Amino acid sequence: MKEVESILHDKNVRPTAMRLLVYQILSENKNAISLTDIENQLKTADRTTLYRTIKTFEEQGIVHPIEDGTGITKYALCAAYCNADKHKDLHLHFHCKVCEETTCLTEYSIPQISIPEGYITEDINFTVSGVCKKCNQG
Amino acid sequence: MKEVESILHDKNVRPTAMRLLVYQILSENKNAISLTDIENQLKTADRTTLYRTIKTFEEQGIVHPIEDGTGITKYALCAAYCNADKHKDLHLHFHCKVCEETTCLTEYSIPQISIPEGYITEDINFTVSGVCKKCNQG
DNA sequence: TTAGATAATGCAATGGAAGTGCATTATCCT
DNA sequence: AGGATAATGCACTTCCATTGCATTATCTAA
Ligand SMILES: [Mn+2]
Ligand SMILES: [Mn+2]
Ligand SMILES: [Zn+2]
Ligand SMILES: [Zn+2]
């Protein structure tokens, strides 16, 4: 059994051909990508299938969604220890307004914060936007 | 000159009837609201006008947009000291998955963070989602 | 190993929000 | 008051997200 196949298997996701391809694409892109990006890189696949594949991946802790402020949700692979119960990759995300790329800053953790008494935290989104290093050196 | 009128005036926005109404609605809602929310509370107005009104308000530091993870942008009035050059109300936002309400936690500032060398920060979005106090007491 | 149950896929269609072009109307300043 | 400029309303377009349903693939247990 190939590596990707066993990863999906471990996360309780049936390793279909389509899913292996989507996983492949996600792992080849160093930036976070949108559903449309995936669609463009996988001309054969139907958008609906991709949509539901990503949804499944998200639910099973394989990818995490990123709201980068563009209104288009991006996705990136999770750390190995994420699972269906909890996403544990709480890092910053950066969106460059010049090149439009959205990146996981996996080395930069979301800082601890307090929220008002009585509120329950389930998800945290910390996204910084501006100009990335590459675009800053023009 | 009424109070709202002078606020708009100070921010270099012509105080038209429509704009006064939009401002009114924003100030009456204690939560952040969407364009559609405004539309529903102002049946007479055309959506395009509201769209452009909000855009103008945003540019002139009257409202700030909030990406709460739903994909629908919400808006809330800024602090008095925001202006066209810079939004200075850097606080947390909370989105309740039960009642769907999005709130400004104006008392809770966005913590200082470091980002990688060479990156330039322009905007920061820090949104927590989960269950709000009200929904947590059911 | 095969049949039947269950899950995944593909197609077609819908919904909702964002955004644009242009003609008309209101506002403001001189 | 008059003319420049800005705001508004209407009609349309685009794009992404999402669903229903029929078909096909996958897995499991007999
Ligand atoms: Mn990430
Ligand atoms: Mn706010
Ligand atoms: Zn860039
Ligand atoms: Zn709530």
Which positions ≥6 away from A79 have C-beta within 8 Å? Answer: A88, A89, A106
Evaluate whether A42 touches A48 at the Cβ level (below 8 Å). no
Of A66, A58, A111, the closest CA to residue A87 belongs to: A58
Looking at the DSSP bridge assignments, the partners of residue A127 are A93, B125
Domains of chain B: 2-136 (1.10.10.10)
pLDDT in tens, B48-76: 999 999 999 999 999 999 999 999 999 99
pLDDT in tens, B1-49: 578 999 999 999 999 999 999 999 999 999 999 999 999 999 889 999 9
pLDDT of res. B43: 87
Evaluate whether B32 touches B76 at the Cβ level (below 8 Å). yes
The Å distance, CA of A46 to C1' of D30, is: 36
pLDDT of res. B65: 95
In terms of C-beta density within 10 A (0-12 exposed, 13-18 middle, 19 or more buried), how is residue B104 classed? Answer: buried
pTM over 0.85: yes
Higher pLDDT, A54 or B138: A54
SS3 state at A72: coil
Main-chain dihedrals φ then ψ at residue A27, nearest 5 degrees: -80, -25
d(CA A138, CA B102): 39
For chain B, give the DSSP string: --HHHHHHHHTT----HHHHHHHHHHHH-SSBEEHHHHHHH-TTS-HHHHHHHHHHHHHTTSEEEE--SSSS-EEEEPPTT--SS-----EEEEEETTT--EEEEEEEEPPP----TT-EEEEEEEEEEEE-HHHHT-
- A69 min Cα distance to partner chain B (Å): 6
Q: Which residue is nearest to nucleotide C18 (CA to C1')?
A: B51
CA of B103 to the centre of ligand 3 (A): 31
Half-sphere exposure of A74 (CA within 13 A, CB side): 21
* Cross-chain CB nearest to A115 (options B123, B125, B128): B128
Sequence-ordered strand ranges (E) for A2-119: 33-34, 63-66, 74-77, 91-96, 102-109
The number of beta carbons lying within 10 Å of the beta carbon of residue A134 is 13
Q: Any idea what the Cα angle at residue A79 is, between residues A128 and A63, rounded to 5°?
A: 75
Of A111, A27, A15, A96, the closest CA to residue A63 belongs to: A27
Average pLDDT over residues B124-137: 94
The number of beta carbons lying within 10 Å of the beta carbon of residue B116 is 13
Of A70, A30, A126, A128, the closest CA to residue B129 belongs to: A126
pLDDT of res. B128: 96
SS3 state at A92: strand
Listed as ranges, the nucleotides of chain D within 7 A of a protein C-beta are 6-11, 15-20, 25-27
pLDDT of res. B106: 95
Residue of B nearest to A72 (CA): B71
Write out residues in chain A with pLDDT < 50, as ranges: 1
Nucleic strand D near CB of residue A15 (< 7 Å)? yes
Average pLDDT over residues B75-81: 92
- For chain A residues 37-66, those near strand C by a CB cutoff of 7 A are 44-46, 48-49, 52-53, 56
Q: Which helix (H) or strand (E) holds A25?
A: helix A17-28
d(CA B65, CA B67): 7
Residue type, position B96, single letter? C
- B50 min Cα distance to partner chain A (Å): 19
| pLDDT at B124 exceeding the cut of 80 | yes
